[in-house]
Every structure is written in C-alpha cells, then in structure tokens.
Amino acid sequence: MGASTLSLPAFAAAIFLFLANNVWHCHGITRHYTFDVRLQNVTHLCKTKTMLTVNGKFPGPPIVAREGDQVVVKVVNHVQNNVSIHWHGIRQMGSQWADGPAYVTQCPIQSNHSYVYNFTIKGQRGTLFWHAHISWLRATLYGPMIILPKKHEPYPFPKPHEEKTIIFGEWWYNDTEAVIRQALQSGGGPNVSDAYTFNGFPGPLYNSCTGAKGLEDTYKLKVKPGKTYLLRLINAALNDDLFFSIANHTMTLVEADAVYLKPFETDILLIAPGQTTNVLLKTKPIPSHTSYLMAVSPYFTGSGTFDNTTAAAILEYEMPPKLSSIHKIINVTSKDLPRLPSVNDTSFVANFRNKFRSLNNAKYPVDVPQKVDKNFFFTVGLGTSPCPKNQTCQGPNNNTKFAATVNNISMALPSTAMLQSHFFGQNDGVYKTNFPQFPLKEFNYTGTPPNNTNVMNATETVVIPYNTSVEVVMQDTSIVSAESHPLHLHGYNFYVVGEGYGNFNPNKDPAKYNLVDPVERNTVAVPSGGWVAIRFRADNPGVWFMHCHFEVHISWGLRMAWIVLDGKLPNQKLPPPPADLPKC
C-alpha cells in the first residue's frame, strides 16, 4: 500500500487538536487532566469498603509534567462530600487561587460542581504529591506528582535504569469522616488506621482470609540485578511518621521535597506525612535470593494510641537465564524484615535529620536570607478545651477536649475563603490580623507544663510586606505530651537553618545556624521536645496556610495563616480570582 496523506482540512484539524492538548509556551507545554471524584468499592484484607477515589483508583492517578509546564486539572465532584485538592509543594507563583485548602484559598467544590486548577511549575523539579485538603478526605484522595527536569536537563546524580514511585498510606476499615466526627464530638483521641500501605497494598504481615500469606494484597517492586533505580517515596499517611528500610540493601538519598540534596547513604530513612524523598537503589549484581522484604513502621513519641503495626512489600529480582539457578524464595515472616528503629528512637531521628544538606553549587545555589527583617517565635503543640456543659468529654485533665495550637491559638476555619476575603478587602467577620509574633505567655516550654492548658479559639493571621525576609522558630511544648509535628507551609519552600532539643535559646542557638548549605523543604518536623528554625523570603503574595500535617492535629486547630501583601510591580501582585472559583 502507498503512503496515506491527510486532506488539508483534516491536517489542519489534527494540528488544532494537537495544539489544544499540548499548547506550547516559552518554557513548556500545557498538560490537561480530569479528576472525577467518585465512590468506588475497594477490597483489601478480606474486606470491601466504599471509598472516595479519583478516577476510581486508590491511590489516585499520577500527575506527570516537566519543569516549566502548565498543568490544568478539572476536578469534578460526583459525591456528596465537599471536596478540594491541594498540589502539595507547588509554589503557585502567579496561580495562588489553585493552591486548594478549603476555606483558606477557596471554598470547597460542592456536589455536582467542578473547578479547574490551573498552574505553571516554575523553578521546581522532583517528587511532590496531590491530596484532598478538607476534613480527613486525604485518607483516600491522594496521588503522586512527578516533575521531570526540562528536556535535555540531566539529574545531578547517576542516571537511573528506571524510576519507581512508592506512596505510603493507610488502610482504614472504618469511614475516616465518621472517625474524626466522633473524636471531635467526644473530645478524645480518634481511632487509628488498621494497616499501613505500599501503593495501596497492606502487605503480607496483616491477617489474610485467603491462606495465601496475603500475597494478593502485597505490592511487588520488580528489579533487575546490577541496576540503579530511582525510588520516589511519598508519605501520604494521615497521622504517622514512618521509618522505611529494604532488607540487605542500602539507599542513597538524593532529593527531599523536590529539592536536590548532597547525596548520603543510609539503610533506614524517616519520612513524615507531607514529605517526599528520592533515593537511588543499586541492586545486587548476584543476589543471594530473589526476594527481599521492604517495610515501614511508625515513629511516635506522644501519648495516646497510634497504629503500631509494620507493613511489608516485596523487592523481587527478575533473574536473567544465567542466574536462573537461584531458587526463588518469598520471605514474608517477621524474622525476614529489615532492621527498623524502635517506635520512639529519637536519637536515630536526630542523627538522620542532621545529614540533610542542599547541593549549593553553581547550578543549584542556596538563597537563604542572611539578614532577617521579621523574627517570629511560635510554640506548637497540644492543649485542652473545656468540656461543654451537660456533656462528658474524653480528653486529658479531667473531662476536657483535646486541642492543638500555634502560640496557644487554636485556629477556627471560617465559613468562607480567606484569600477571597483578602482580595476584595472583606475580612470583617472572617479573620483578624493580629496573630502574636511571640507567645503571649512565656513558660518552660519543654519542662513542667503550666497548670492552665486551655487554648484560645480564633481566626488570626500574620500580615507581612512583600519580599520580607522571615525567620520562624517553632518550639514544641510538653503540654499534654511532647511530640514531633510535621509543619507544612503552603506557597513556599524554606530553609531549615537550625534545630535542637529542649528550649530554644535566642542568645546561643543562632550562632550554630547553618547559613551555607541548609536543606530546603516545604514540610519540616518540629522535633519532639525541641525546636526548629526556618527562613524564607516572602516573595509570593496571597494567603498561605501553615499547619501540622497530622490530620488529627490540624482538626484540633494546629494551623494558622500568613498574608503576604502585594509588591509594587505587576508580577508581584495577587491576580484576580478565576470565574469558576467555587462559592461557599
């Protein structure tokens, strides 16, 4: 047969269709996605449950783009719950209305409505993730964001043979909305998850009804001998820091929160909810057997209940014919698990965190503010609220409710979007602008807690001028219990310039700051019984949420918001809202 040709109208139509789906900009293309939020039956550990999903998948579908690309995601809500989606770690420069947290950036998408999230990825590459940002819907509504470098732009580490993504999450038999609703009503701690998961699979260590050692519920990572793999690791669990290890293998960390690192080796890593970590895994040239267990288990230092289980997955070697004599053994017993730290091994955590450094080379320089315009000192931790009259509560300290705070303020979310109120100058009755720069009352933050642990409830914000250089010291407290808190700042990356245990000393600790190659992140864990200092330049106008990434703590009020004012130039101003912005 001869070569076929398109008629001129058909050719023009084909070109138009291509351009419509791949609109070229000066730095990239436009990538279109549709997210249909629907109920879907999912079965794990011998139980089928109906859960919210995106496009019927759990975890949800990946967003794949390159640095410089425009990403357009139409989210259609087919369920009864209000929904919003956050693109965790995306700076949203010029696309502030696409950030996603309900009642902060936007009103949620109501049932049978849709919203188009439209943003361009500027100056970022690496692994991030997307997730629901309202109530506890993040339990099942999450998925990876893979941001590749620009075309022909190499990684600053050896090119991997292949790339794999692993999202750590949780499996809940119960409806998580009912779990947090009951906890907020009783004032006590919520029930915990039933299993941890690798890409949605709980693995072989949990009870299985099939007698097949749970292998049908197990994620398998297939690799070839003597190759290097880039593993993109994401912690999407609701309430748990997780240790991760692969039996008899070492990993090289090369990236955290979509920022390249000075590489370092470890056989165990810790990853907090909201954090991402990229590692290089070099497989064995001649493995002793063809299957090794991977495992996650929790790191927890607080009081109360938590999911104290271990989830496993299988690293499975695909053997070439010359090595086919190696007998295939799938080890699924606890004795074959990799070594993991004890649940409260804070010394391991401190040593691990101290290894993180930015590359800080000519191509990927560090831009940490050397001078600070505004200093803030925030206490972060738990507290209590009085039990309502004629009600019995299950919180601490004799019939109280659990609460959580920043500077003893437990943030109440408004009933309309704060960003919209800010843009139109209609914040009256929505939020106030006098969030305290320092704690209103000083006390021995990590020592004996004060007698009065009651919190204040308010919707307060910090207002700062455009381009302000900011330092925030976040201090954990021993009120109720000392605990690690993964703090996430929307709209920004920040530099972690210092951290330590005990109370922050403003006269001594700043002298030990790392202002040369500090790690750059979007989520940092405030050490249990300690403090962390971060710096950033407020170059992104808007209203930006900052909160603990434990869902139980954000539900109890450990959240606040920054308002960054417009700059003088047109590209330093908050753009008007899109026409389809959801209404409350």
Every domain of the chain and the residues it spans = 26-152, 157-358, 374-564
Q: Which CATH architecture has domain 157-358?
A: Sandwich (2.60)
CB distance 231 to 164 below 8 Å: yes
Task: State pTM to two decimals.
Answer: 0.94
Amino acid at 183: A
Task: Read off the pLDDT of residues 227-263 as tens digits, 9 standing for 90 and up.
Answer: 999 999 999 999 999 999 999 999 999 999 999 999 9
Q: What is the mean pLDDT of the chain?
A: 93
Contacts of residue 78, Cβ cutoff 8 Å, sequence gap at least 6: 36, 37, 38, 39, 111, 112
Please give the CATH superfamily to which domain 374-564 belongs.
Answer: Cupredoxins -  blue copper proteins (2.60.40.420)
The pLDDT value given to residue 323: 66
- b/e map of 379-399 (b: 16 or more CB within 10 Å)? bbbbbbbebeeeeebebbeee
Q: What is the DSSP letter of 12?
A: H
The pLDDT value given to residue 393: 94
Task: Read off the pLDDT of residues 409-467 as tens digits, 9 standing for 90 and up.
Answer: 999 999 999 999 999 999 999 999 999 999 999 999 999 999 999 999 999 999 999 99
Same fold, 157-358 and 374-564: yes
H-state helical runs in 165-228: 176-186
Cα–Cα distance between 570 and 246 in angstroms, integer? 50
CB distance 160 to 226 below 8 Å: no
Q: What percent of the chain has pLDDT over 70?
A: 92
- Closest by CA to 96, choosing from 463, 412, 418, is 418
H-state helical runs in 240-357: 346-353
Q: Please return the burial class of 372, using the count of CB atoms within 10 Å of its CB with bins 0-12, 13-18 and 19+.
A: middle
Higher-confidence position of 432 and 329: 432
Cα–Cα distance between 458 and 146 in angstroms, integer? 37
Three-state DSSP at 214 gives coil
CB distance 360 to 366 below 8 Å: yes
What H or E segment, with its residue span, contains residue 553?
helix 551-555
User: In angstroms, how far is CA 218 from the centroid of its own chain?
Assistant: 24
**Segment 140-145 mean pLDDT:** 98
**Could you say which of 2.60.40.420, 3.20.20.240, 3.20.20.70, 3.10.20.30 is the CATH number of the domain covering 26-152?**
2.60.40.420
Cα–Cα distance between 90 and 493 in angstroms, integer? 9
